[in-house]
Amino acid sequence: MIDPQTWPPLCGVVAGCGALLVLAGTAKLRDAVRGSGQDTAVQKVLRLAAVRWRIFQVLAGAVECAVGLSVCTGLDAAVSDTLMACLGAVFVALLVWIRRAHVSEDCGCLGRRASRDAAAGVTPEAMIRAGFVAAAGAVGAASRAAAPFTLRPAAQVLAWAVALTTFAVLAAADLKLRTRRCRRALLFPVRKTLAEVTGHGVYLAMAQSLGTSGDRVAYRRAGCVDEFWFPSADIGQEEPGYLAITAGRTSSGALAVKARATRHPPQDQVRTLRIGRGPIRTPAAVADGSKSQPSVR
């Protein structure tokens, strides 16, 4: 029977999350010393002036470092992991608050800022990472998972390997990793491209002119190009047509969009994507300047 307290994979995951807290706390302390990290989404939703924001960064960074080090060293595992679970839950609540408030700036997680060519705002990956930290802390507290270095020598190798892998994956979760040839997003490329397309000026102008409807979009990939067909209520013909969007990438990864009205989408190699946040943008939503991004299921 597996003893969860000394099970190497679980011990490694918990230690990896603790190391992530140390990294996040160190980044906050660094930003506080340098006076950087201003105008993030967290600062805006908390409505903190520059001086109070630096104080908040110092306190939050110190707490994260202390909890992370406590988790990694195995000091009172139950208490340390419980505190990590609480921090993860606070992170999730804060990120949900930011998304509901439609704050366009990025969260500044781990001291990183969003690149100019990427869509701003809290990424789903950042929310998943916060939830993973909370879950790892809760499971670790319930099982009283030991620190990797306290395990038997044979189990330490596996535990440390899992810890390093967990740390690397969580730290790089919201990086804008792109493929070398097509410059597409490495993770969830279709979903991210669709989110960028529906916020692009070319799409917004055409959607305002033609109108789009429904909660599904036809999609096809042709080499390095993504093609979307949004149902359109009016393209000047008797029957409904489609707003066709062709999206490619420049060498820097920036989106290049072409749009046209068409009567029918192609029949070959086309699949249907469902947009998870209700119907596709309508002309009224475009006119209101809505910045909400759909998610593909």
Q: What tens-digit pLDDT sequence spans the chain (297 residues)?
A: 578 888 999 999 999 999 999 999 999 999 888 877 777 888 888 888 889 999 999 999 999 999 999 999 988 888 999 999 999 999 999 999 988 887 777 777 776 665 444 445 677 888 899 999 999 999 999 999 999 999 998 899 999 999 999 999 998 877 777 788 888 877 778 888 888 888 888 888 888 877 776 678 889 988 899 999 888 865 555 556 888 899 998 887 788 899 888 877 777 778 888 765 433 444 444 344 444 444 444
Gap between the Cα atoms of 147 and 23, Å rounded: 18
Gap between the Cα atoms of 130 and 267, Å rounded: 41
Gap between the Cα atoms of 90 and 85, Å rounded: 9
| Largest CA-CA distance found in the chain, in angstroms, rounded | 75
Phi and psi of 281, rounded to 5°?
Answer: -50, 135
Distances (CA, A) of 271 to 45, 189, 240: 39, 15, 19
Gap between the Cα atoms of 236 and 41, Å rounded: 43
β-bridge partners, 241: 232
- What's the CA angle centered on 75, arms 71 and 79, to 5 degrees? 70
CA of residue 288 relative to chain centroid, distance: 25
CB 247 within 8 A of CB 226: yes
Predicted confidence at residue 240, as pLDDT, reads 65
Within 8 A by CB and 6+ apart from 291, the residues are: 102, 104, 121, 199
Phi and psi of 165, rounded to 5°?
Answer: -65, -45
Predicted confidence at residue 23, as pLDDT, reads 94
Locus of tokens 């993973």: 132
CA of residue 261 relative to chain centroid, distance: 32
Predicted confidence at residue 293, as pLDDT, reads 40
Within 8 A by CB and 6+ apart from 161, the residues are: 12
Q: How many CB atoms lie within 10 A of CB 250?
A: 10
The H or E element spanning position 110 is none
- What's the CA angle centered on 192, arms 113 and 171, to 5 degrees? 45
Within 8 A by CB and 6+ apart from 176, the residues are: 114, 115, 118, 185, 253
Tokens of 88: 């993860």
Gap between the Cα atoms of 121 and 104, Å rounded: 5
